Amino acid sequence: MWLLDQWAERHIVDAMRKGELDNLPGSGEPLALDDDSHVPIELRAGYRLLKNSGCLPPELEQRKEAIELLDILKGIRREDPRYQEVSKRLTLLEVKLRQAGLSTDFLHGAYADKLTHKISEE
């Protein structure tokens, strides 16, 4: 066992003996774990840390930005000077996503509206 593991284990055992871990919320209930079976074991801790801190992979950040740009386009008229610029940025993002091998169907049709609604709820 690594030194850090031993240190953590000792503190956990001490806290259990003192009763500091009794009556915690969710005590006795099963853990709701994410399925990370597709992530190599050596990367799981890092991925979980990034996920919990709100960091997204670049492709997902680009998808999120594309949805935001689509929302902006829906809210302005074609005559608006910003429309052309936002449209170009959205097209560029769509090309980048396609080059990365990702589908951009979420930007077109009813699925885009559902996805936008779902993201705005979170």
pLDDT, tens digit, 9 for 90 and up, residues 75-105 = 888 888 898 999 899 999 999 888 888 888 8
pTM for the full model?
A: 0.50
Model confidence at 114, pLDDT cuts 50, 70, 90, reads: low
Q: Report how far residue 120's alpha carbon sits from residue 115's, in angstroms, rounded to the nearest whole number.
A: 9
Residue 14: the pLDDT is: 95
Residue 10: the pLDDT is: 92
Q: Report how far residue 88's alpha carbon sits from residue 53's, in angstroms, rounded to the nearest whole number.
A: 31
User: Does an H or E element contain 56, and which?
Assistant: none
